[in-house]
Structure 1
Amino acid sequence: MKAGPDIARIAALIGDPARANMLTALMSGKALTASELAAEAGVSPPTASGHLAKLEAGGLIGQRRQGRHRYFSLTGTEVAAVLESLMGLASGAGHLRTRPGPRDEALRRARVCYNHLAGEMATAMYGALLRTGRLATTGDGPRLTESGAAFFSGFGIALEPLIRARAPLCRECLDWSERRSHLAGSLGRAVLARIEAEGWASREPGSRAVRFTPRGEAAFGAWLGLG
C-alpha cells in the first residue's frame, strides 16, 4: 500500500447513499438525533446507528449527549467544505438525484452552508466585498482589509474576538450551485448571524434554505452597494 492519506476510506464513507443523506442534513449546522438522521437517510434506526458509528469512527461527525438523546453534528468546517465541493462536482457533472423543484430554487438563492451563507446571495456578497477592497485575495485565501474591518464593525460585528480565536477569520468556500466562491470562516458565520439578527432573513424550518424578506433583500443590497 502506498504511503499518504487514505482518501479511499473517506470517499467510501461519504459515498454510501444513506450516509451521504445524513451528512447533507448536518450541513444545516444543527445537531440532529439518530432518529432524525434515520428519517433523513430513509433507513431503520438500527441501520442508522451502524452508519453513524462508521461516520464517527472516520472522524466526519461527533456526538454529544443531552438527557436521553444523542445529538450528532459535523466535526468541523473542513468536513463541510469537502461536502460542498462534492455537491458542486456532482451538480456540474449532471448527477442530480431528483428533478429540480421550487425548494431547489430557494436553496440556490440562499441557504446555510454549515454555519455561513451560501447560494446566489452569498456569492454576490463575496464579489462585492472583493470589488470594493473590503476583502483582498492572497495565496492563502481572502484577507480582511482595513476598510473591510471598518465596514463589518459598522454592521455590528465585533471583530476582536474573531481575530483572537483559533478558527480562520476568512475562508473562501466553493459554492456548489453557483460554482463561485462565497465567504466562510468565523467572519462568514458572524455575517449570517447579523443578517438573522437584523430580521433580513430567516432559516426555513426543515430545510437549509434561507428566506430573505423583500425589505431584507433590499437592505442587504444597499449594505453591499449592489445595483
Structure 2
Amino acid sequence: MNLLALETATEACSVALIHGDEVIARSEIAPRRHAELVLPMADALLAEAGLGRHALHAIGVGRGPGAFTGVRLGISLAQGMALALDVPVITVSSLAALALEAPEDDACILAVIDARMGEIYAASYRRDDNGGLVALDEERVCTAEALLLPAAAAWHVVGTGWATYADVLRGRLSGELRSANGACYPQARHVAELAAREFAAGRVCAPEQALPVYLRDKVALTLVEQGKA
C-alpha cells in the first residue's frame, strides 16, 4: 500500500508516506507557512520513494481540531489530491495523532492542544493490545479548569496545552503523572499510521465527504472581546 498523509492543524506542518512497510516523513514547525511547504514536502517524499502520485492508493489527513486555517488547508489539499487521483480519503483526529507521541506503556494519554482564547482542545486515550488507540472520552474544547478526565492510575500528557496550562492540568489528573511534553504536535507519520489501520478495515470516504473538525464555531475574538474597541 502507498498512502500519503498530511497534518497541518497546528504550528507543525508535516507530510508522511507509507510505501510498503516503510514510513518516511518531513516535518517543520512553520506557523503561517503550511500552504507553501506541504506540497513540496509531498513531492520530495514521493521522489525519495521513487513513486509518482498515481501510485498512491489513498490520502490520509489530520481533520483537526486545531487552527481553523490549518485544518481547512489540510482537508482541502487532501480532497483535491484524492479527486485528481481517484482515490479515497481517510480523515484522522489530530488529537489521536498527537496521542501517539506519548511513550508506549499502560498509562492513559491526555492529548491537549492550546486552542487560544483561554481554551484547550483535549481528548484522552489508552493504547490497545495491537498498538492502536482506544478513546476514553470525546474530543472537546473547554477551559483547562473545566476539563473532566476519567480516573486512571497513570498518565502521559502531550501537546501545547500542557506548555500553557501545566499547573491547572496537573490538578485535573487523578493518578500519577508519568510524563509530560508540552513541545509535541500532531505529526503526519502518526496520521499515516492511524489512516493505514482505517484503510485496512475499509473505513474510507469519498473526497467530498472528508470533513474538518473544528470543535469551536467561533474562530476569532471581536474587537470588544479583545479590549480594543
TM range (shorter): under 0.3
Q: TM-score, normalised by structure 1?
A: 0.27
| Greater per-residue strand proportion | 2
| Greater per-residue helix proportion | 1
Which structure has the bigger radius of gyration? 1
